[in-house]
Chains A and B, each alone.
Chain A
Amino acid sequence: MDARQETFTAGLVTALPIGLGYFPIAFAFGVAATGAGLSGWEAAALSVIIYAGASQFLALALLTSGAALPVAAFTLIAMNLRHVLYGPALMKAAGGGAGKRHAWLWAWGLTDEVFGAALGEIARGKRFSEAGMFGLGLLPYAAWISGTVAGALAGGGALEGWPVLQAGLGFLLPALFLALLLSILTRPQVPVITVAGLACVAGTLAVSSTGGILGGMVAGALAGVLRRARG
């Protein structure tokens, strides 16, 4: 196994497709936020302080629909509950003795995509490091904030004249997840992946996209527990 330690620079490079994927989505958020009546500062503040894409779009819907603040806050917090699983899963993969002295800072960047990329790096033999986590988290966060600001400044319809570019950018995140999936794919993981995918589809169709994501993760992880218990 290649046990090279993940460096800050390597983390930045690994995060490049995530940043490229985040920018247009954040751009769309900036456009939507100003379209919903928020100022550019408010749009940027949501991206800086919340930093969770789907829940930021939901926040816009809740704010503009006049939802009560506690209801809006509870809904958005529930939506991000899945993040509780990421840190422990990452540290488990990193192994005993993995540094966490500065986790109070780098853990802020532990989004869905950064978590997946970090796990993929470990699966490919890179040794976990906090410097690598900073590199991995910094670029996507910067892309998210700058994309939001650019979108807020540009206003509506900025990408409408470039549909092919818009389409390609829109496929970056599915492409990233597929590449990550290929990078960790081993025979023992097939039941976990299959159950997670099916549960995600069922949960999305029956409940919501958030329900599908949470259900897929939990069902897949439980499949992993059951498989190993039998094995």
Chain B
Amino acid sequence: MSGEVLVLALVVGAANWAFRYLPIRFGLGSGGGAGGGDGVLARFLAAVGPAAIATLFVASSLPFVQAGAVAAPLAGTAGVVAVWVWRRSVVLATLAGAVAYAAGFALAG
């Protein structure tokens, strides 16, 4: 393995670990920590979750929209919503969305 690849991986990996763990280690967001209570930081952190999920949904959907295909993404979206309303299961809704998207892709193709 080349030294450059290994060094890059170790430096970036260490930073990733620090980003994911150290804020928890130092109590940000915990009840008694700096993010607890009802302060601005606490409200900010409470809103981060919904904002992150909405953002990641939009970010992962944009390439499909930019590609110009309509039928398959609509079928996939409808599949997710329909199964979610029916069963209230994230797992089933996700798998149904992928199947519906694949079906739409095959039919439109």
Contacts and interface: CB of A to CB of B under 8 A. Distances in A.
A142 interface: no
Contacts of B44: 221-222, 224-225
Interface in A176-192: 176-184, 189, 192
Given A171-B101, A224-B44, A108 B21 contact: yes
Nearest to A46: B9
B59 A189 contact: no
Contacts of A213: 55-56, 59
A216 B52 CA distance: 7
Nearest to A73: B11
A105 to B, nearest CB: 9
B80 A220 contact: no
Interface string B1-38: 11011111111110111011111110111111101100
A184 B54 CA distance: 10
A87 B43 CA distance: 15
Interface string A116-141: 11011000000000000000000000
B contact patch SS: helix
A149 interface: no
Given A73-B11, A193-B51, A46 B5 contact: yes
Nearest to A96: B31
Interface in B60-93: 60-62, 64, 72-73, 76-77, 79-81, 84, 88, 90-91, 93
A182 B77 CA distance: 11
Contacts of A168: 98-99, 101-102, 105
A176 B90 contact: yes
Interface residues of B, number: 77
A46 B6 CA distance: 8
A65 B24 CA distance: 36
A179 B42 CA distance: 26
A contact patch SS: helix
A16 B24 CA distance: 25
B70 to A, nearest CB: 14
Given A69-B4, A216-B59, A220-B55, A119 B29 contact: no
B84 A192 contact: no
A220 B12 contact: no
5 contacts: A87-B21, A93-B46, A104-B25, A169-B98, A228-B43
Interface of A: 13-14, 16-17, 20-21, 38-39, 41-42, 45-46, 49-52, 55, 59, 63, 69, 72-73, 76-77, 80-93, 95-98, 100, 103-104, 107-108, 110, 112-113, 115-117, 119-120, 163-165, 167-169, 171-184, 189, 192-197, 199-201, 204, 209, 212-213, 216-225, 228-229
**Closest A-B pairs by Cβ, 4 of them:** A96-B31, A224-B47, A220-B51, A168-B102
